[in-house]
Amino acid sequence: MTASYPNLRLRRARASAWSRALYRENVLTPADLIWPLFVTDGKEVEEPVASLPGVSRWSVDGIAARAKEAVRLGIPCLALFPNTQPGRRSDDGAEALNPDNLMCRAIKAIKDACGSDIGVLTDVALDPYTSHGQDGLIDEAGYVVNDDTVAVLVDQALNQAEAGADVIAPSDMMDGRVKAIRMALEMGGHHNVQIMSYAAKYASAFYGPFRDAVGSGGLLKGDKRSYQMDPANGEEALREVALDLAEGADSVMVKPGLPYLDIVRRVKERFEVPVFAYQVSGEYAMIEAAAAAGAGDRDALVLETLTAFKRAGCSGVLTYHAAHAARLLGA
């Protein structure tokens, strides 16, 4: 910069609303949002999640209604997570392969209700289906085994694709699962089913309310540090992203969101691919708690944090605030 004050006054461009809009570098729209939804059993069921104020589990008919709402709001994609009944959970997570499980029924209900007007992103991991709460199969020592788990994840992904899923999102963090899933999708004729890989998923303290929502929190034995990433590591995230892209991921995700915006920026600058972030349940709950305590205006907090993701380089954000934010943006 060669100009100096008073020839250059940066406040000139901030003086009026029209000027601020004209100079704005990043613009948030409903099309930037993916809305995570929790599916539960029954009919006409809405179960509020106590640790996530304003978020509920919905029965399949309610999920279809949320899909129609999302279309009206301009939200392009839903992300589904099942709260599997305790009696259907097992050590091997076999319910994940049931073509009539909650996930598959919800996918079909959304497609019946909205057709191609909205995308459906489905989580691939075994923690909503296992009796021990881990994302994969475990050995006698409780260690999550990699290759045997990948074989099950492939079948889970195919099950979801055949039900109508548009985006397969493996969140398990097993080595080699993206390549195995991509090969299976190609061989199964699902050439246009995308993979959004949870490439940089950290062993975070911000996941607690999510585990309550899918019913795995009280079941979890041990922790997930043998497969989820160390929060202290950044270079490792770039290695994970590089591997997943080489194996066939169409886009990558960083999870959690706000505490890892540095990772989002590094991934975007290094690879120049679509990068998404998950504003996870703990982040959502903190905003809601701050607003309830009078520490900040809820609407302003929601929009500022979501804009931060865009500024960092995100193509989109998974957020429980999606519907609320879309209403604010459409106002």
How far apart, in whole angstroms, are the C-alpha atoms of residue 49 and residue 35? Answer: 16
pLDDT > 90: percent of the chain: 95
225 residue type, one letter: R
**Neighbour tally for 289: CB within 10 Å:** 11
Query: Above 90 in pLDDT, residue 50?
Result: yes
Q: What is the pLDDT of residue 222?
A: 86
pLDDT (average), residues 46-60: 96
Find how far residue 199's CA is from the centre of its chain: 12
Q: What is the pLDDT of residue 331?
A: 58
pLDDT band at 218 (very low <50, low <70, confident <90, very high): confident
How far apart, in whole angstroms, are the C-alpha atoms of residue 278 and residue 298? Answer: 19
Say how many Å lie between the first and final Cα of the chain, rounded: 38
- Are the C-beta atoms of 169 and 124 separated by less than 8 Å? yes
pLDDT (average), residues 312-326: 98
pLDDT (average), residues 254-275: 98
Contacts of residue 218, defined as CB under 8 A and 6 or more positions apart, other chains included, come to none
Phi then psi for residue 321, to 5 deg, are -85, 10
pLDDT (average), residues 136-148: 97
The β-bridge relationship of strands 33-39 and 56-58 is parallel
Cis peptide before 231 (omega within 30 of 0): no
Phi then psi for residue 164, to 5 deg, are 120, 10
How high is the mean pLDDT of the chain?
97
Q: What is the DSSP letter of 140?
A: T
One of 111, 179, 221, 255 is an active-site residue; which one? 255
Element (H, E) at 81: strand 77-82
How far apart, in whole angstroms, are the C-alpha atoms of residue 116 and residue 236? Answer: 37
Residue 162, annotated as binding a ligand: no
Query: Above 90 in pLDDT, residue 158?
Result: yes
Find how far residue 194's CA is from the centre of its chain: 14
What's this model's pTM, rounded to 2 decimal places? 0.96
**201 counts as catalytic:** yes
One of 201, 224, 268, 310 is an active-site residue; which one? 201
27-329 carries CATH number 3.40.50.2300: no
**Neighbour tally for 51: CB within 10 Å:** 18
Q: What is the pLDDT of residue 1?
A: 64
- Are the C-beta atoms of 298 and 287 separated by less than 8 Å? yes
